[in-house]
Amino acid sequence: MSGETAKRLEFLRGELNRLNHEYYVLNSPSADDFSYDRLMEELVTLESLHPELRSADSPSLRVGSDIVKEFVQVRHKYPMLSLGNTYSMEEIEEFDARMRKESGAERLEYVCELKFDGTAVGLTYEKGRLVRALTRGDGEAGDDVTANVRTVRSVPLALTGDDYPQEFEIRGEIFMPFASFDRMNRERTAKGAAPFANPRNAAAGTLKMQDSAEVARRGLDCCMYFLLGGALPFDNHYDNMRRASEWGFKVSPHMQKCGSVGEIAAFLARWDAERKTLPYDTDGAVIKVNSLAIQRETGLRSKSPRWAVAYKFKAEQAFTRLLSIDYQVGRTGAVTPVANLAPVQLAGTTVKRASLHNAEQIELHDIRIGDTVIVEKGGEIIPKIVGVDRARRAEGSVPLSYVEYCPVCGTRLVRPAGEAKHYCPNESGCRPQILGRIEHFVGRRAMNIEGIGEETAVALLEKGLVRDVADLYDLKKEQIAGLERMGERSAENILAGLEKSKSAPFARVLFALGIRYAGETTAKKIASAFRSLDGVRNATFDELMQTDEVGEKIARSVIDYFGDSRNAALVDRLKAAGLRFEADEADAPVQVSQSLSGKSFVISGNFSVARDEVKALVERHGGKTAGSVSSNTDFLVAGDKSGPAKLQKAEKLGVKIIDEKALRAMLEQ
């Protein structure tokens, strides 16, 4: 009997995989929904009765699970970089000239593809089966979202054919088609929930949900655009992607080979006009060198490949009336003016609010209440005001006076020299700043404390249980359980999350403190350079300036943060609570030698490998790397297109300037 069941299960899985591919990839279904649902129902039933016969690539996984699962960070086998943006054909021509010069080729073949507006993922397949799906993350490591990606019907769980590599990675974009987006927003509105602003945000939020059954219901799609591995079928991008489509992957049918800049221009012009007919969002196109040999030869920059570039279509604009302006206060005290607009349709969504950035932008465009303003979606996502139709301005309108006092706590605003933003200096008494710091601290990229979202943070603040982030670690079970919509189970989960956060790496703790201008990457660099809280706290301005990616503004902000007695006391309380304020030895670069010990290097320009690899090479041999040239710098390693300001400063200070070849010669000696 089990043999018959196994055969039936094998048939059902094969048939459902075939129907999925026809419907979601080929767009030519051969069966109706009723027939498909009956097959899926039978498969799920048989697998539940015979769990020993379940398969890791069964189509039943498409329906997801309601089991809550924390996302785990996994390192990318290949760096997952972003693309540099271009906005004109002149920049495309410059890109082509640069590629021909670097490759030595008189003419190059390119591949043009539409740029999907969603969330990038990297899918790893072993022996033809999906084993892992990662988000981009910081480019070095991403979140494991395999359970959610398995629910996306256009992603094959098992490949067809037998000529695929034993192990490879394929990258693509998870996006939400307009039909899925509209259906989901209708359902949310009917339930009284706020609709999502746009398909891109909806796709990103859905992919990071911890309920894969809900992910399955939302109708995500996925289109693949790049193949990586050691045994690819062809040495060019176009043919590899065509072959990938034969294995079962959804590949854009609009991908096109172009043999000249003129052909690229024709592709861009066509799709700039026709993109509004597509069933999904696209905000531009990607142009890639087709030859993988030339891709390898030209290599990577620190954050993007040299052999590919993204072209952004001109943003859609609309005219509407400016009704009023709100002033929002962020966690750092920065005040951002936000325009309230008469509703207007723009790039497929209704826009009612738009950013005004700062006082300088308002003054530059002479924006006034009642004006007819020009609204644009930057990157087709974030609405912003880019101008005023003065011909429609009402008589008697007066220039706008920027707010002088904090709209929340009433403190007089300050504007630091050289900055466009105004700030509320009342850090300890301004509610949105306190709330913002708590939300930042508990966030996934920081301490990743589960159970404390915006509503819980607001409740803790209103009840007086928390005034700063250190207070979180003093919370008692009965205090949390007494909050509205809370109970003992929720309180236990929050306390468990707080306890777990004490094992977060030092770099994340440093980022969680919310030091102004010190983002996640900068916090990692500082933590790696100084290794402990005391090391950072006692660092001088010049020592901070020697840290990679730390400039004057960040260095001054770090000094000011630890120079404030309130922050010093807060950090001491966090340290006493058990948070980790020292870096692990595992975080330190693997030491090959100490041949560069005591030497400081600044790395500038483009090299045969990514700039970060050159920095890592120096550090593995005992040297230190810094982001700016100073009197403490021993060597400036200058690559192609090295920064002229760094070269001039190095010459002025007598710092020795060497190239990549000389650096490697030093190591060989």
Q: Do both 496 and 608 map to the same domain?
A: no
Domain with residue 205: its CATH number is 3.30.470.30
Same domain, 461 and 496: yes
Residue 270 has pLDDT above 90, yes or no: yes
CB-based contacts of 95, cutoff 8 Å, min separation 6: 86, 287, 309
Stretch 414-443: mean pLDDT, rounded?
A: 91
Using CA atoms of 379, 381, 386, 389 in order, give the dihedral in degrees to the nearest 10. Answer: 120
Higher pLDDT, 128 or 185: 128
What's the confidence (pLDDT) of residue 216?
A: 87
- Asked if residue 150 and residue 111 are part of one domain, the reply reads yes
Residues 80 and 179 in one domain: yes
Does the pLDDT at position 65 exceed 50?
no
> What is the arithmetic mean of pLDDT over 469-486?
92
Residues 326 and 464 in one domain: no
The rounded distance, in Å, linking the Cα atoms of 129 and 401 is: 62
* End residue of a domain, out of 370, 392, 414: 392
Q: In terms of domains, do 647 and 660 share one?
A: yes
Mean pLDDT of 531-558: 90
What pLDDT does residue 581 have? 93
- Domain assignment present for residue 109? The answer is yes
SS3 608: coil
Residue count of the chain: 669
Q: What is the pLDDT of residue 12?
A: 84
Same domain, 470 and 545: no
Select from 368, 392, 416 the last residue of a domain: 392
Determine the pLDDT at residue 108: 95
Between 229 and 15, residue with greater pLDDT: 229
Tell me how many domains the chain contains. Answer: 6
Segment 119-131 mean pLDDT: 94
pLDDT value at 321 more than 80: yes
Q: Would you state the structure tokens that stand for residue 432, as one six-digit string? A: 């949105």
Q: Which of 387, 504, 386 is nearest to 441 (CA)?
A: 504
Residue 400 lies in a domain: no
Task: Give the CA count within 13 Å in the CB-facing half-sphere of 174.
Answer: 31
Quick one: 480 and 450 in the same domain? yes
Q: Which range has the worst mean pLDDT, 29-38, 48-57, 79-88?
A: 29-38
Kindly state the average pLDDT of the residues 257-271.
Answer: 96
Q: How confident is the model at residue 322, as a pLDDT? A: 95
Candidate from 335-349, 423-437, 528-542 with smallest mean pLDDT: 335-349
- pLDDT of res. 584: 75
Please tell me the distance from the alpha carbon of residue 271 to that of residue 282, in angstroms, as a whole number: 9
69 lies in a domain? no
- Amino acid (1-letter code) at residue 525: K
Residue that wins the pLDDT comparison between 192 and 565: 565
Is residue 343, in this structure, part of any structural domain at all? yes
193: which residues sit within 8 A by CB, 6+ positions away?
none
Long-range contacts of the stretch 582-586 (C-beta < 8 A, 24+): 582/506, 582/531, 582/532, 582/533, 583/505, 583/506, 583/507, 583/527, 583/528, 583/531, 583/532, 584/505, 584/506
For the record, the structure tokens of 259 come out as: 């043999």
Please give the model's pTM, rounded to 2 decimal places. Answer: 0.56
Collapsed DSSP state (helix, strand, coil) of residue 59 = helix
pLDDT at 48 over 80: no
Distances 12 to 159, 248, 366, 490 between C-alpha atoms, Å:
16, 18, 66, 41
How far is the C-alpha of 621 from the C-alpha of 636, rounded, in Å? 16
Residue pair 71/145 in contact by the 8 Å Cβ criterion = yes
418 has pLDDT over 70: yes
Residue 357 inside a domain? The answer is: yes
Out of 377, 392, 407, a domain closes at 392
Beta-carbon contacts of 285 under 8 Å, excluding residues fewer than 6 positions away, are 112, 113, 114, 115, 267, 268, 271, 310, 311, 313
Tens digit of pLDDT for each residue in 373-408? 999 876 545 688 888 999 999 888 999 999 999 999
Query: Is 69 a known active-site residue?
Result: no
Distance CA 481, CA 486 (A): 5
Instruction: Kindly report the number of other CB atoms within 10 A of residue 252's CB atom.
Output: 18
In a domain, 511, yes or no: yes
- Max mean pLDDT range (52-56, 106-110, 353-357, 612-616): 106-110
**Residue 49 Rama label (left phi>0; alpha psi -120 to 50; beta):** alpha
What is the span of the domain harbouring residue 46?
2-63
Helix 431-442 / helix 454-462 crossing angle, nearest 10 deg? 130
- Give me the amino acid identity at 48: S
Cβ-contact 622, 591 below 8 angstroms: yes
DSSP state string for 322-335: EEEEEEEE-TT-EE
Which tokens is 9 given?
């299960």
Tell me the pLDDT tens digit for each residue of 211-220. Answer: 788 888 899 9
Residue 402 lies in a domain: no
Residue 472 has pLDDT above 90, yes or no: yes
Whether residue 642 is contained in a domain is answered as: yes
pLDDT on residue 70: 61
The single-letter code of the amino acid at 623 is G
pLDDT of residue 118: 87
Do 492 and 516 fall within a single domain? no
**φ/ψ of residue 23, rounded to 5:** -80, -50
**Residue 347: predicted pLDDT:** 67
pLDDT at 587 over 60: no
Quick check: 225 pLDDT over 50? yes
Residue 44 has pLDDT above 90, yes or no: no
Going by C-alpha positions, the residue among 312, 318, 326 that lies closest to residue 369 is: 326
Give the mean pLDDT of 650-661: 90
Q: Which of 115, 250, 615, 646 is catalytic?
A: 115
pLDDT tens-digit series, residues 427-436: 889 999 999 9
pLDDT band at residue 68 using 50, 70 and 90 as cut-offs: very low
Mean pLDDT for the chain overall = 87
Q: Is the pLDDT of residue 477 over 90?
A: yes
Kindly state whether residues 302 and 321 are assigned to the same domain.
no
Residue 465 has pLDDT above 90, yes or no: yes
CA distance 495 to 455: 17
Q: Is 177 a residue whose pLDDT tops 70?
A: yes
pLDDT of residue 34: 64
pLDDT band with cut points at 50, 70 and 90 for residue 609: confident
Span 279-314, pLDDT tens digits = 998 889 999 999 999 998 888 775 678 899 999 888
The verdict on 494 and 537 lying in the same domain is no
What are the pLDDT digits (tens) for 482-530? 998 888 888 999 999 999 999 999 999 999 999 998 988 789 889 988 9
C-alpha distances in Å from residue 301, one per residue of 84, 123, 479, 641:
10, 23, 51, 12
CATH number of the domain to which 467 belongs: 1.10.150.20
Q: What is the pLDDT of residue 66?
A: 41
CA distance 464 to 459: 9
Let me know whether 242 and 348 are in one domain.
Answer: no
Residues 6+ apart with CB under 8 A from 553: 517
The whole-angstrom separation of Cα 144 and Cα 34 is 33
